[in-house]
Amino acid sequence: MDQTVKIKNEEGLHARPAGFLVKKASQFKSVIEIRANGKTANAKSIMSVMGLGLNKDADVTISAVGVDEKEALDALVGLVERKFVAEA
């Protein structure tokens, strides 16, 4: 299952938000990938995510396959939509 979202924060997906994304993705058992600009990254690898070089307003597709795919997708899409601000 997958969903496309837009990077909303001004700095794009630089080191700090990429770290938040990887940390969140690593909490799930599912295989999680991010696709953008014709590239695919392992969402559990900081180097892979940073390699996408995503800027503000970039469209990214997050996909999750596995036992907790819905929960993983919901959590990661929510994180992107909140501009990588943690939940209260």
- Res 87: pLDDT: 63
Q: pLDDT for 3-55, tens place per residue? A: 999 999 898 988 999 999 999 999 999 999 999 999 999 999 999 999 999 99
pTM of the model: 0.93
Owning domain of residue 10: 2-79
Of the CA atoms within 13 Å of residue 84, those in its CB half-sphere come to 20
Whether 88 shows a pLDDT value over 90: the answer reads no
- Res 30: pLDDT: 98
* Residue 26, domain CATH: 3.30.1340.10
Number of compact structural domains in the chain: 1
Give yes or no for a contact between 1 and 65, defined as CB atoms under 8 angstroms apart: yes
Tell me if residue 14 is catalytic. yes
- Euclidean distance between CA atoms 16 and 31, whole angstroms: 22
Q: 56: pLDDT confidence band, cut at 50, 70 and 90?
A: very high
- List the catalytic residue out of 8, 14, 42, 45: 14
Residue 85 forms part of a structural domain: no
